[in-house]
Amino acid sequence: MDSVIYREIQAVFFDAAGSLFEVNGSVGEIYSKFAHRYGVKSDAREINEAFTRYFPDQPPLAFPPGTAQAELKILERNWWRKLVLDVIGNEEFRQFDSFFTEVFEFFRKKEAWRLYNDVVPTLTELKHRGMRLAVISNFDSRLDDLLRDLEIDHFFDGIHISTRIGAAKPDSKIFHAALRSHQIEPKRALHIGDNLREDFEGASAAGLRAILLDRAQSRPDDLHRRTE
């Protein structure tokens, strides 16, 4: 970020999964490991492919704003239950509910994830520079516990998740909700994330500056850019 733009920025928003941390191994490996405990044989590669196939077909992970916390947790759990049931696709899995509960709770913990090595140094430096930091994520309320378990929750002045706000990226509503919460003008905020459509294009359309974080170095050079 050049010095002129830096002087304008007052807050930096981060995506969560894929930007701050990644799955420790793969979804397929984790699902397969837990299924094996219940005597169900599964192929990790096939599960991973099924997850990639079914995930985009799910409705946005967002529920009506103001939903009571107890009801919200039920809605979040049911959203994931349907997806995992589709992914596993085993009608003879009689203990599926017990399996699902274990998997669902496992992804609340740091053991399911790997924090990227550059995250803590980056957050530390930004805080040192006086930046307000927050998360904008299409995640559910387990993210509160996860960030605490990863020991990075103290860096953030706000955690803005789609299930509570009622809109999922790239919908501008989730970005505008975060801006209102921090009383920041769009041009004074920077959003950093790894998804071109949800993070870069979504934030840009909402008026924020945006940086596409290409962890896998898989995108053309002209996409490694920021909005001016």
Domain 3-20+116-223 has CATH 1.10.10.10: no
pLDDT for 5: 53
State residue 89's pLDDT score.
83
Per-residue pLDDT of 191-219, as tens digits, reads 999 999 999 999 999 999 999 999 877 65
DSSP string, 126-157: HHHTT-EEEEEES--THHHHHHHHTT-GGG-S
Kindly list the domain boundaries of the chain, sorted by start residue: 3-20+116-223, 25-111
Q: What is the model's pLDDT at position 47?
A: 95
DSSP state of 17: B
The predicted pLDDT at position 217 comes to: 74
φ, ψ of residue 193 in degrees (nearest 5): -160, 170
Where does 25-111 sit in CATH, by number? 1.10.150.720
Kindly give the pairing relationship between strand 113-115 and strand 132-137: unpaired
Dihedral (C-alpha) 46, 56, 179, 212: value to the nearest 10 degrees?
60
Indicate the pairing of strand 189-193 with strand 11-14: parallel
- Tokens 């599964």 identify what position? 42
Given a cut of 70, the residues of the chain with pLDDT beneath it are 1-6, 91, 218-228
φ/ψ of 134, rounded to 5, equals -155, 165
- pLDDT of the residue at 219: 57
CA 191 – CA 211 distance, rounded (Å):
6
pLDDT of residue 225: 46
What is the pLDDT at residue 91? 66
pLDDT of amino acid 11: 97
Angle between helices 27-37 and 96-106 (to 10 degrees): 140
113-115/21-23 β-pairing: antiparallel
pLDDT for res 105: 98
What pLDDT is attached to residue 7?
A: 76
Residues contacting residue 119 through CB under 8 Å, at least 6 positions apart? 20, 21, 152
Would you say 178 and 153 are in contact if contact means Cβ atoms under 8 Å apart?
no
